[in-house]
Amino acid sequence: MSIGTKHVDLRQDHWPQITARQSQQCLIEVKVDNCIFCKIAAKQIPSGIVYEDEHLLAFKDINPAAPVHLLIIPKVHIDTLSAVEQQHTELLGKMLALAPKLAQEHGCAPSRQADGSLAGGYKTLINTGPDGGQEVYHLHMHMIGGPKPWRGQR
């Protein structure tokens, strides 16, 4: 992470004298001033929250690409998917496991029709880096669904 022109390495292994929980809190404190998703997680900016637990927050995208467009974020700041480390494995699993639950609650989970075909559905998307389309540098997963066409698709 860069603050001004000074490079600061915030990886947990560079802070062996403090606990993992303390390092996560430090990450939030360092980033909360300049990260919109940290501010949303800290309830400093209002959002259409649809789910919250100790580790995750899900809210409605302010510029939806589909009838259902939710963002699932970890409360701890992680810049990109490329920045995750082994200790984030469980957190990533929780993010993925939350998507089908939210899809069901918002009416876009796939369902079997009377003729046996599937209808409905959603997609999950994590943009990573500038060429991957990431606009906010706080790890987040889009859960997008509902009847098509969606913006940018026919």
Q: Which of 69, 77, 140, 142 is catalytic?
A: 140
106 is catalytic: no
Predicted confidence at residue 4, as pLDDT, reads 35
Per-residue pLDDT tens for 64-100?
Answer: 999 999 999 999 999 999 999 999 999 999 999 999 9
Residue carrying structure tokens 């510029």: 63
Beta-carbon neighbour count of residue 72 at 10 Å?
Answer: 23
In this prediction the pTM is 0.78
Q: What average pLDDT score do residues 22-31 get?
A: 43
Pairing of strands 68-74, 111-112: unpaired
Rounded to the nearest 5 degrees, what angle is found at the Cα of 93, between the Cα atoms of 36 and 68? 55
- Decide: residue 37, CB within 10 A, 0-12 exposed, 13-18 middle, 19+ buried: buried
